[in-house]
Amino acid sequence: MDPTSKKNLLDEQYRSLTERVGVAPSLYSFLKNSPLNEWLSPLLTDGPWCELGCGNQSIFEEGDQLLSGLSLKKDIFGFDLSSVAIEQAPHSIINYEQADCSHLIPKGPFSFILDGHFLHCLSSMPEVFQTLGVISNALLPGGLYAGEVMTSHKSLSFDHDLFFDHQNSVLYQEDRPLRIILEAREWEGLFNDAGFEIAFFLCQASIKMIPCRDRTQAMSGDPECLRFILRKLQ
């Protein structure tokens, strides 16, 4: 899908929302707990932070509830492809900006980049690989990139209006790529090939990630959640 059509589609989706998308509970608990919470504290003063795919409200809006001292940090950026999402974002200390993070992440280099459930929203494995390079370039040496991605399992199943192309690991809605869903070892391979050190890598089988927007209740066939923390080598 070309970037303009993707942006238009996302703009349309955000325009149709009646309220801000809430913070993803799994991402919140990942950030709030060990080891990420402890690893982030020393990075608070080491350089700017950003969230990729922040939607219309960055999780960093949670401030000190999320991480002690976060509310004092002024150099936090929230990026999203949708300009409508950025317009809807709160006026706060987070600096929101429209950006296509698969091509360029502005305002860096960062000591911490959070993936706000963005990476599995790309359209193909080559695009994911290219984007990992963009992310690495936007990090300071020793900086961290953390997030959650959808991963496949033996009992994967999908809503009737979705089609999963097993060959390319792309989930489609009508003719549009919706999500990339890889096996854990494929994610691991991509992270290694992009030159990151894998500092944390855990498949949370108990957390199901809903691949479409039309449903709020998770089902047992939904993709599982893979949590990762990657470090850019010095």
Ligand X SMILES: C[S@@+](CC[C@H](N)C(=O)[O-])C[C@H]1O[C@@H](n2cnc3c(N)ncnc32)[C@H](O)[C@@H]1O
Q: Which residues bind ligand X (CB under 6 A)?
A: 10, 21, 24, 27, 52-55, 79-82, 85, 99-102, 116-118, 121
Nearer to ligand X, 61 or 233 (CB): 61
Q: How far is the CB of 107 from ligand X (least distance, A)?
A: 14
Q: How far is the CB of 55 from ligand X (least distance, A)?
A: 3
Q: How far is the CB of 79 from ligand X (least distance, A)?
A: 6
Ranked by CB distance to ligand X, the top (closest) residue is: 53
Q: How far is the CB of 136 from ligand X (least distance, A)?
A: 16
Nearer to ligand X, 86 or 140 (CB): 86
Angstrom distance (rounded) from CA 208 to CA 224: 5
Q: How far is the CB of 221 from ligand X (least distance, A)?
A: 19
Nearer to ligand X, 219 or 233 (CB): 219
Nearer to ligand X, 100 or 159 (CB): 100
Nearer to ligand X, 52 or 225 (CB): 52
Angstrom distance (rounded) from CA 122 to CA 190: 14
Burial-class residue 85 by CB neighbours within 10 Å (0-12, 13-18, 19+). buried
